[in-house]
Every structure is written in C-alpha cells, then in structure tokens.
Chains A and B, each alone.
Chain A
Amino acid sequence: MNNLIILPIIIPFIIGAVLIIFAKHHRLQRVVSGFTAVGMLILSIYLAIVVYQDGVIVLEAGNWAAPFGIVLVADMFATLMVLLTSLLSAACLFFAFKTITPKREKFFFYPFYFFLLVGVNGAFLTGDIFNLFVFFEVMLLSSYALIVNGGTKYQLRESFKYVIINVFASALFVVAVAWLYSVTGTLNMAHISERVAELEQTGVVNVIAIMFFIVFASKGALFPLYFWLPKSYFGPPAAIAALFGGLLTKVGIYAIIRVFTLIFYHEPTYTHKAVIVTIAGFTMLFGVLGAVSQFDFKRILSYHIISQVGYMVMGLGIFTPLAVAGAIYYIVHHMIVKTALFLFAGAAERVTGTTDLKKMGGLLKTHPVLSWMFFISAISLAGIPPFSGFFSKFPIILAGFQEEQYIISGVALLVGLLTLFSMMKIFSYAFWGKQKHTDEQAKLPIGKLLLPIAPLVALTIILGIAAEPIFQYSLQVAEQIMDPSIYIESVLKE
C-alpha cells in the first residue's frame, strides 16, 4: 500500500479537469500547466529513485486484495517510462507555449494534453489487463482530440484514418481480453501469468498471444499496420507531433514488452524468435525505405519512427537479457532524440514556413545553433558514436549475432546505414546549400524555441558518454522484467 504511485496518474487528471473549468484564461492555463509539468518531472524522478532502491511498489486501488481488485504496479521499467514521459511532455509543453496559436489553445489543448498523460502514465503503471485497455482508451481519446486540434482540412482527413484504425484495434483488444479471461478467469496480469504457466502455453493461448501482438502492433506502428502513422503525424502542429512521435507508439511497444515478458514467455521459439523477429525485420526495412523515399522534413522523421520501433521489438524478439536491455536503452534514446528532432522540424518550419526539403536550404548560415543541435541529434539517431544511438543499437545487434540471428542483425545494420543516409539528406537539403528563405525570415529569433530542446540534446550526449552506468541500469531493468516471478511475488505477495 503506497499511494505514491497513483500520483503520476491523478495529478495530470486533476490539472486537466481544473484547466477545463478555466478554459478561457490563457495565461492561467500556461502558468498552471508549466508548473505541473515541472512538478511531474521531479515527482517521476523521485519515484524512479524510490523504486530503484526499494524494489517494486504495488498499490491495491480501493483496498481490494490483489487478484480481485485493480492493482497498480511500479517496477523499474514502468517508472523509467513514466520518467521519460514527464521529460518529453515538459519539453513539448514549453515548446507549445511558443508555437501553439490561441485558436488552437482555445480547443482545450492543455486539458487534453494532461488527459493524454493520464492515459500514458496509467498504461505504464497498471497491473491489470482490462485497466490497461481503459488507460489506452483515455490516451487514445485525448490523442484523437489533439490530432485534430485546429481542424484544418488535412488534419481532419488524415485523423479520420488514424481514429478508425485505432478504434478497430481497440475492439480487437477487448476481444483478446475476453478470450484471455475465458481461458484464465482473471484479469490481474500477475495472476494471468501464473495461470498461463499452469496451462502451458499451447494452442489457444498462443492464439491469444498473437492477438495481443496484433493489437499492440497496430498501436505501436509495426509492419504491416503502420500505414496510418506518417500521414497523420504530418498534420498537427510541431509540439503535438513531437509528443506523439516520442511517446504514443512507445506505449504500444511497452505493452508488447510487458505482455511478452510477463505472460506469454513460455514459447519463445515461436512467439519471440519467429513472429516478433520477422515482424521487426520488415518494420525496420519498410520504415526506413519509406523515409529514404520522402522529401519532407516531418515525413522522413515519421517514417523513422516506424523503422526504430522495429529495433525495440527486435530486442524483445531476440529475448536475451542483453537484447532486452538494449531495447530498453534504445527506447530511452529514441524517445528523447525523436522528440528533439520533431521539435527541430517545428523550429525550422517556423523560420522557413515549410517542411518541404526542396524549398528549404541554407539554415546553417542563418541559424547555426539550430543546425548544429539538429546535427548532433541526427547522427545520434543514425547511431554514430559517441552519442546514445550507437550504444543502444550495439547491444541489440551484438545479441543478435550471439543468438545466431544473422539475417535480422544484417537488416538492422543496413537500416542503420539508410537512417544515416536520410538524416544526411535532411541536413544537406535544409541546412546546407543556398539560402532559400528570405532575409526577413532569417532574422526571426528562435532562441526561445531552442531552449526546451536543449536539455534533450544534452541528454543524448550524456546518454552516449555515460553509456556504462546507463547500460547497467537498463540491464537491471531487463533482468527484472525477464524474471516474471519478481513481478508476480510483489503483486500476489506469496
């Protein structure tokens, strides 16, 4: 019983509700949400430290004992994700202060922003499979509202597809939960894990496992269910696109990792090494090919989300502590860098008025700080040492070779090369070359826009230089999630 871990869920909830009431007071909304974001960041750091030192914290909501009531479980993986969420949401929020137009603010931007965080944090912390669905829906409902925020023609058209694919996936989620309930008779994830272990994972349990995989794959944009992502992330303003790009697909990936390490871990040769690894390979390859073929700043970044989601799932698919640790490291790296890159795209768009690479050029001369910060993030994303991208891809690929998964490891290396290529494409078109924006645009001060991004860029450098302690931490996280008995014992207290 520890109410600390409910706070990352109810604080944004309360603030979101309060901000609905004061929807007309722009200044007040900004002040309140700014302080909340910083407060959440401090809280989540504290939570991560507490869990790191004292082990898993479990809260039985409503004082109902474990298998019967809903539990919230904060293990190291969950608190790490909550910490990243708070970090990204704070950065995007401060970026939004400078870029979101009052017209968009009026459509309940801040309340939905915080409800999104309720859903995301809830999905990370919950220990109940149906509750996971509920928090997913909270997150998705807010994301529907945010992605159409502003209501341009393009947004409405593309968001409709985003909403429909997610509604369909959510329906399948309920189907999967219903099947799982009929087989195991419980909803508590720890309890399900025990029951599945007794049942032996064969036949129908494997079907359910793949069903869950399909559900989370469509939310996490895995092959072949990624087609909604690039177009729908293009529409909304940069702050929202950055938050979505950094955060939303990773919730799906988190759910995949959670479900396939805690519940369906008995048949790794089928589920992990065959299905997940294959899907991961195709996801990486098609994502990066999409990125290579594009000529738009935001679209290239969106396609890269897909290819990088593939790396994370590949780490899970190889399923050794080293690979899973690499996947976790990669999630940390990716969330930070991807958000930074999307925000850079927003800042560059502010200057040039476009994200079409053919109409951009010469930003290096007029905005050197922006350009070099982008350069660092870009090569970090491509996996050049000494930045975080290298040290997070390295263990995944190393584990791939150790486990004799040569094809997937080769694909991962090739995808890294193509990532570098498309990042350099952005750099050479948008930042090098002749200046294509007017001199007036060149004088636009964007220093304030770069402030919220600077910590993220600093973090990718730190994550690279301090790779050893951070990798040790990811390894601990990986060992904790790969040993389901820790989770089960702390929830069911046996």
Chain B
Amino acid sequence: MEILMSIIIGIIFTVSVYLFLSRSIIRVVLGTLLLSHGVHLLLITMSELQRGAPPLLNLGAESYTDPLPQALVLTAIVIAFGVTSLLLVMVYRTYKEHETDDLEELRGSADE
C-alpha cells in the first residue's frame, strides 16, 4: 500500500511541477493546489498506513492508528486552504491590473 501511495504521490508531484512551469498564471495556482495535496498524502503515508484499528491511546492496545499525522494533515489542509484562497484573490487582482494571465508578459523589464 505504501509503495502504491508513493507512486501516486510521485505522479502528483510531477504533474504539479509541470503546472508550475507553464505560462498561464492560473495553472501555476492549480499547481500549488495539487502540490499541497501531494504533500498531505505524503504526510499520511510516511507514518505507515494502518487500517482496522482506532487511534486510541491505551497502553495495552496491540494495534492502533497513529493519530498525530491525521492532526498534522488537518492543520496543513487548513493552511493550504488559507494560502490558496489568498493566492486566488491575488492572481485575480494581478489579472485585472495587467490584463494578462501570461507569465511571459509578467516577467518585468530589466530597467525598472
């Protein structure tokens, strides 16, 4: 299961890097979105995918799911939500001001 997840995460990372490198500004934002998903999956996977046992802390328990990564992922999701929404507003404003979504045109000239 972990191997499969690792491959999936790898694919997600690849796609998001591809989106990062594209010229359209909204694709770059989608890239950040996808990257954060990949990262969250990685965080869950890295702590071993345990199934069938509740995350209960009982010293006698033979098997339990580690609750910590879940809490971490939740926090990371909330943060990603905040960053993405801010980024969307910013991209929208950029588009309005510059009237283009092409990053090549948003490069900026050397002399200013």
Residues of A within 8 A of B (CB): 130, 133-134, 137, 140-141, 144-145, 148, 151, 153-154, 156-160, 163-164, 167-168, 170-171, 174-175, 177-179, 181-182, 187, 231
Contact = CB atoms under 8 A, between A and B. Distances in A.
Most buried by B among A133, A151, A171, A181: A171
Interface of B: 20, 25, 28, 32, 35-36, 38-40, 42-43, 45-48, 68-69, 72, 75-76, 79, 82-83, 86-87, 90-91, 93-94, 97-98, 106, 108, 112
B48 to A, nearest CB: 8
B80 to A, nearest CB: 9
Contacts of A187: 68, 72
30 contacts: A130-B75, A133-B76, A134-B75, A134-B79, A137-B79, A137-B82, A144-B86, A144-B90, A145-B86, A151-B97, A153-B97, A153-B98, A154-B108, A154-B112, A156-B93, A156-B98, A157-B98, A158-B108, A160-B94, A160-B106, A164-B20, A167-B32, A168-B20, A171-B36, A177-B43, A178-B45, A178-B47, A181-B68, A181-B69, A231-B108
A160 B91 contact: yes
Query: What 9 A-B pairs are tightest by C-beta distance, nearest first?
Result: A182-B46, A178-B46, A156-B94, A178-B43, A174-B39, A137-B79, A171-B39, A167-B32, A171-B35
Nearest to A158: B108
Nearest to A134: B75
B97 A137 contact: no
B92 to A, nearest CB: 10
Contacts of B35: 167-168, 171
Contacts of A140: 83
Nearest to B86: A144
Contacts of A144: 83, 86-87, 90
Contacts of A130: 72, 75
Prevailing SS type, chain A contact patch: helix
Query: A144, A148, A164, A167: which has the most chain B beta carbons within 10 Å?
Result: A167
A140 B79 CA distance: 11
B39 A148 contact: no
A171 B13 CA distance: 11
A174 B48 CA distance: 16
A177 B35 CA distance: 15
B11 to A, nearest CB: 15
Given A167-B32, A167-B87, 14 more contacts: A145-B86, A153-B97, A156-B90, A156-B98, A157-B106, A160-B91, A168-B35, A171-B32, A171-B35, A171-B38, A174-B40, A174-B43, A177-B43, A178-B42
Given A134-B79, A164-B28, A168-B32, A181 B108 contact: no
Contacts of B40: 174
Contact of A167 (B47, B83, B91): B83
Contacts of B28: 164
Given A134-B75, A144-B86, A168-B35, A175 B42 contact: yes
A168 B40 CA distance: 13
A140 B76 CA distance: 14
A159 B90 contact: yes
A275 B34 CA distance: 31
A141 B81 CA distance: 11
A181 B90 contact: no
Nearest to B79: A137
B75 A156 contact: no
A157 B98 CA distance: 8
Given A144-B90, A160-B91, A181 B79 contact: no
